Amino acid sequence: PTPFCLLDEVDAPLDEANIGRFNQLVREMAETSQFVLITHNRRTMEVADTLYGITMERAGISKVVAVRLWEAA
């Protein structure tokens, strides 16, 4: 399997039932590959170990924010 997968909003057109199937597939494949998912879907975010967000504290200056979900629980 591919050691690293980058998926950019591939879950956007999926309905609720297929989001569940997609998330299950990602969980299974994550046992042998590493995933970076770009998403706006909260259900997809729930399968992540770490979430990264970009915010602007000041105009024109971006900041990366990371939340490790296993530490936040």
* Per-residue pLDDT reduced to its tens digit, 10-36: 999 999 999 999 999 999 999 999 999
Q: Confidence class of residue 1 from pLDDT cuts 50, 70 and 90? A: confident
Q: What is the domain-level CATH number for residue 24?
A: 3.40.50.300
Q: Confidence class of residue 73 from pLDDT cuts 50, 70 and 90? A: low
pLDDT digits (tens, 9 = 90+) for 38-63: 999 999 999 999 999 999 989 999 99
> Which segments of 1-73 are extended strands (E)?
4-8, 34-38, 50-58, 61-68
Domain range for residue 11?
A: 4-72
Contact 56, 26 (CB under 8 A): no
Please, what's the largest Cα pairwise distance for the chain?
A: 42
pLDDT at 68: 92
Domain count, the chain: 1
